[in-house]
């Protein structure tokens, strides 16, 4: 199976922040990296393909096994509230003003991704490259291809310190509620955008994610945003991801051979430049 490629569109051409991602999203076949990738433990159909509709795998303790490599749809990277609807997001007037300015694409050079800075939580879950979940009883680790980042989700009962050091990925702890892994993340620095469309976040943001694996080939994450600076009430969006059973994570060096910055910000040219205030 070939590597994913971002779909081009007129709107994408305006969104200059995507330039920082595009050069790493070429069609690179996995076979060029590894041979004889084993299928041990994978449910297979009679014709030898992975049965994506097979039942959810479980650990020895009976918990759903979330382990695997997954990728979201660009739909949610572009707009976290794609299914919910932006009109249903309880933004403050200031948040709507910020989002309206960013959604034109003309402020894309301010987006952290375009400067090779981390995408932050929860946006990194929707990045147009995959991530791997490694699950143990007391610790879940998420390894992101995007920017070679990672998260630790502690399930051992620890609690947050009173004064967390602000960070891009925050500090995450989790617990099981039935078949859902519930993860709360605090200590975020407020510099990230919630999505590529520009939904804002502040350093008051906390994120609660509910990871569910409804069958072998699917992962769903309910993401609840609680940020009183920009939203009048907590709100939840559901992101749907698919298992990538025949791929591996690649190295992601964001600023290697970078040629995008000269086309960003004051250097934007072309028809879209006339839309600038």
Kindly report, residue by residue over 91-102, the tens digit of the pLDDT. 999 999 999 999
CB 276 within 8 A of CB 105: no
Kindly report, residue by residue over 170-188, the tens digit of the pLDDT. 999 999 999 999 999 999 9
Kindly report, residue by residue over 184-239, the tens digit of the pLDDT. 999 999 999 999 999 999 999 999 999 999 999 999 999 999 999 999 999 999 99
Kindly report, residue by residue over 118-176, the tens digit of the pLDDT. 999 999 999 999 999 999 999 999 999 999 999 999 999 999 999 999 999 999 999 99
Between CA 33 and CA 38 the distance in angstroms is 14
> Where are the domains positioned within the chain?
63-275
* Domain 63-275: which CATH number of 2.40.128.20, 3.90.1150.10, 1.10.10.60, 3.30.1130.10: 2.40.128.20
**DSSP label at residue 2:** P
Cα 227 to the chain's mean position, in Å?
A: 18
Query: What pLDDT shows up at residue 268?
Result: 55
Cα 243 to the chain's mean position, in Å?
A: 14
The residues near 136 (Cβ < 8 Å, ≥ 6 apart) are: none
Q: Length of the chain in residues, anyone?
A: 277
CB 98 within 8 A of CB 252: no
- Which tokens hold the place of 16? 């200059």
The angle at the Cα of 11, spanning 128 to 237, to the nearest 5 degrees, equals 50
Provide the Cα torsion 123, 172, 152, 6; round to 10°.
-10
Q: What's the pTM?
A: 0.84
Query: What pLDDT shows up at residue 267?
Result: 57
């Amino acid at each position: 199976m070939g590597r994913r490629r971002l779909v081009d569109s007129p709107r994408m051409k305006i969104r200059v922040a995507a330039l920082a991602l595009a050069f790493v999203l070429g069609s690179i076949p996995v076979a060029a990296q590894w041979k004889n990738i084993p299928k041990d433990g994978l449910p297979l159909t009679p014709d030898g393909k992975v049965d994506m509709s097979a039942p959810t795998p479980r650990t020895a303790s009976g918990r759903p096994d979330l382990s695997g490599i997954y990728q979201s749809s660009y739909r949610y990277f572009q707009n976290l509230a794609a299914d919910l609807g932006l009109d249903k997001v309880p933004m403050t007037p200031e948040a709507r003003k910020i989002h309206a300015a960013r959604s034109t694409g003309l402020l894309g050079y301010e987006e952290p991704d375009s400067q090779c800075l981390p995408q932050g939580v929860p946006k990194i879950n929707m990045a147009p490259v995959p991530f791997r979940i490694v699950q143990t009883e007391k610790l879940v680790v998420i390894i992101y291809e995007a920017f070679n980042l990672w998260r630790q989700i502690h399930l051992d009962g620890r609690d947050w310190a009173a004064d967390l050091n602000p960070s891009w990925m925050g500090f995450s702890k989790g617990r099981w509620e039935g078949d859902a892994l519930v993860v709360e993340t605090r200590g975020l620095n407020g510099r990230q955008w919630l999505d590529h469309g520009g939904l804002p976040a502040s350093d008051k943001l906390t994120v609660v994610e509910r990871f569910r694996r409804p069958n072998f080939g699917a992962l769903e994450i309910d993401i609840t945003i609680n940020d009183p600076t920009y939203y009048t009430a907590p709100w939840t969006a559901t992101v749907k991801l698919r298992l990538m059973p025949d791929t591996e994570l690649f190295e992601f060096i964001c600023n290697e051979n970078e040629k995008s910055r000269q086309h960003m910000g004051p250097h934007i040219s072309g028809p879209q430049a006339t839309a600038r205030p």
